[in-house]
């Protein structure tokens, strides 16, 4: 039985995926739903015809699937797109850190199970920020399912970790103290900290929609979020340990890859994009004069590049 709640303004439709029937008219719309995964409600955005090539959109910190709103709208005419919120992010379930193990291993397991439950077993991965360690875990577990990558400031190399953005977290890896955690939380999780992540390195800061950091701040200041997010900051060190494994995967499987990278990113500088060329024989490579959230300022250009990449490489 379809369960659907409609709000008269700013509508968000929540439906059970098992009963979601996608009509021809619905394929031209962005759909909003939840999937029950391991007892969690995983919120996701979906667009396009599921019979067409699928692009799985994996978001970064501190945001959610809303960061891909332009991609969903811009490519829904030709592709099937799906963007889940991880546990603890966006509108997905956010159990406390004492109830759920917030590690990148666990987040990847949930996303992998989500895709399997949705019967999505062949796809291109678009990865940004936290989406990279989640996406590469899925790719190395199921290399036969991944047709290619769209990499947007999603890192897999030590030189791609910028000291300007990561400095306090590097210190946290060495000194995992409550005092340092509190200091990081005060800086990073503040409204000013959220805004800085969006506008730093952009050509026109006034063009960046402030709804982005206002929404992110509201979510990250919810009860229990500090413990969740600090736990993931600390666990990120385990991603670095897996970089050699991911690089080996790239060398052996040579997935078709498009790189669209904001070069002024304080967290993942251009060196991280350049490093992929060591392991991939061919890369559709584009460095953009913008910051960490490249879609905010270069969305139209990136969408055109994704369409050309998918078409030119017959990614299906």
Q: What residues are annotated to the active site?
A: 292
The DSSP code sequence of 130-145 is THHHHHHHHHHH-GGG
CA–CA distance from 284 to each of 20, 121, 276 (Å)? 36, 24, 11
Give me the DSSP letters along 29-95.
SEEEEEEEETTEEEEEEEES-TTSPEEEEE--SS--GGGGHHHHHHHTTTSEEEEEPPTTSTTS---
SS3 content of the chain, % helix, strand, coil (to 5): 50, 15, 35
Question: What is the SS3 assignment for 174?
Answer: helix
Based on C-alpha coordinates, what's the Rg of the chain? 18
Is 122:95 a contact under the CB 8 Å cutoff?
no
Task: List C-alpha distances in Å: 206 to 39, 199, 203, 264, 299.
Answer: 41, 8, 9, 17, 16
In this structure, what token pair is assigned to residue 255?
């997935």
Q: DSSP state, 179?
A: H
């Amino acid at each position: 039985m379809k369960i659907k709640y409609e709000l008269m303004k700013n509508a968000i439709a929540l439906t059970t995926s098992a009963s979601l029937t996608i009509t021809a008219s619905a394929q031209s719309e962005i759909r909003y739903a939840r999937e029950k995964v391991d007892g969690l409600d995983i919120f996701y955005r979906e667009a396009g015809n599921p019979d067409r090539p699928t692009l799985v959109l994996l978001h970064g910190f501190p945001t959610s699937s809303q960061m891909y709103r332009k991609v969903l709208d811009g490519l829904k005419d030709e592709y099937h797109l799906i963007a889940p919120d991880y546990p603890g992010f966006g509108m997905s379930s956010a159990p406390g850190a004492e109830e759920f193990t917030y590690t990148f291993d666990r987040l990847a397991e949930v996303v992998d199970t989500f895709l399997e439950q949705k019967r999505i077993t062949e796809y291109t991965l678009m990865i940004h920020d936290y989406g990279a360690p989640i996406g590469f875990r899925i790719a190395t577990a199921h290399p036969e399912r991944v047709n290619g990558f769209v990499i947007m400031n999603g890192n897999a190399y030590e030189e791609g970790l910028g000291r300007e953005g990561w400095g306090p977290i590097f210190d946290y890896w060495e000194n995992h103290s409550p005092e340092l955690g509190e200091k990081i939380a005060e800086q990073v999780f503040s409204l000013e900290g959220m805004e800085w992540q969006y506008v730093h390195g952009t050509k026109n800061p006034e063009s960046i929609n402030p709804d982005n950091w206002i929404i992110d701040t509201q979510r990250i200041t919810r009860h229990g979020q500090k413990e969740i997010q600090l736990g993931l900051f600390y666990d990120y060190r385990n991603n670095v340990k897996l970089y050699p494994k991911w690089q080996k995967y790239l060398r052996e499987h040579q997935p078709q890859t498009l790189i669209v990278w904001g070069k002024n990113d304080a967290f993942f500088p251009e060196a991280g994009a350049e490093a992929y060329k060591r392991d991939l024989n061919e890369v559709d490579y584009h460095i953009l004069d913008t910051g960490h959230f490249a879609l905010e300022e270069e969305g139209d250009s990136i969408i055109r590049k994704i369409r050309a990449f998918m078409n030119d490489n017959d990614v299906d």
